[in-house]
Amino acid sequence: MELSDTEAGVAWIDNFLPDDRELAKRLLDAFVLDTWTSARASLLELVRTEIDSVRNAGPVWVLPAMDSGDIRRANGLGTTEPLTAFGNFEPGMNIPSMPGSEGLIGHLIRDVQQEGVLPPQTPVSALRDRRLRTIIVVSDTIETGGQITKYVKSLLRNTTMRSWRSFGWIRLIVLAYAVSSEGERLIATLPQVDSLRFVRHAPTISGLAWTKKDTNAALALCVRYGNGKWRLGYGDHGGLFGFQDRLPNTVPRIFRQHGSDWVALFTGSGGRQVPSGMIRELGGSSEVSVAHDEIVAAVRQERLSISIRKQQRASNRNVLAALALLRVSPERFSVLGSALDLTQAETTGLLGYMTAQGWIDGAFNVTASGVAELAASKRKPRRVAPKQVSENVTPYYPKSLR
């Protein structure tokens, strides 16, 4: 079920003027609400898989990503004092105000404790004695990327750990359930992080595979109808992702605000809770329908937009939509997962398949073979006139046996 089909969704759309309701509905249906139960299972599997892949190299230290504001408040630190692991705070420390996402990740990390896996509270002396080789930082979501960036930098601001890394003795890996394209790009620039792995993409308004005109209209809609500061969400992120038990503050105000003249979509303090009625209606994670024809139409592939609807398998439509996006710009590989609602593993598999077929090169440029594949998909199917069958029903007997 899509969010616009829920009772709260229908009422929320009526907040808008008639001319704006179709765009509001389209924006609402791009919003993803996942259940933490299913997300936790997927993230737990990812963490276990990553641990198994690096444990042979030596001990692994797994810890939850912590919010710098929580760390400062718990340790009485000022806003300008640099956070330094094992200096002015202890990584993995218990924080009373941490029942949210950090607490949930903390519970998940307890489920992966085994031989060769060090708990978050491990002191630096024990890390040295055990000869630490890999640090894994786990988060539920990475939206703007600011929180995870600050935490990773605080870990390696410690002189001992910084020296271990300079000698190439330790690697740092970030794992998360959902990551926005903006967060993925930011972490890719961090010299402190060796790799980022996640389950799915967290959509944002700017990252939708819409035309630039439609994207700008959606952003303007949020600003025009939103109230207060950060109308596009914290950091003007424009996030369209949340869990059914909590929403990040990066979600635009129009989804979270309430008042006498506004029918609220989400409830609670700051509009960050999903109504129980909506959860019952959804019966699980909200469905996001992938409109492949709209995706390719947004990059001016009108003929392909018509023919792609006739592709019977979603895998075929994904390939053609991906080729159309990459034909415009190879950098669009970063939004394929969000646009096609694919996991990171599925996106990697799709790109690998297209590379193996010779349709794209290693830099995600569409090759001549890929261009030919797109052109072939635009052609109308060849029509063959059926053979005319005689309507004469008189029994036929041969005049000769030769």
- Report d(CA 263, CA 260) in Å as an integer: 8
Residue that is written with structure tokens 């491990």 in the block: 122
Q: How far from chain centre, in Å, is Cα 298?
A: 21
pLDDT in tens, the chain (402 residues): 789 999 999 999 999 999 999 999 999 999 999 998 889 999 999 999 999 999 999 999 999 999 898 899 989 999 899 999 999 999 988 765 444 566 788 889 999 998 999 999 999 999 999 999 999 999 999 999 999 999 999 999 999 999 999 999 999 999 999 999 999 999 999 999 999 999 999 999 998 888 889 999 999 999 999 998 899 999 999 999 999 888 999 999 999 998 889 999 998 888 888 888 888 888 876 666 677 887 888 777 778 877 777 765 777 888 888 888 898 888 878 778 878 888 888 888 999 999 999 999 999 999 999 999 888 887 655 454 565 655 555 555 555 555
Cα 388 versus chain centre, distance: 55
Hey, where are the domains in the chain? 3-31+208-282, 37-201, 292-378
| 147 touches 180 (CB < 8 A) | no
Q: What is the value of pTM for the model shown? A: 0.82
- In terms of Cβ atoms closer than 10 Å to its own Cβ (0-12, 13-18, 19+), residue 114 is exposed
**Inter-axis angle of helices 181-188 and 146-156, to 10 degrees?**
20
Topology adopted by domain 37-201:
Rossmann fold (3.40.50)
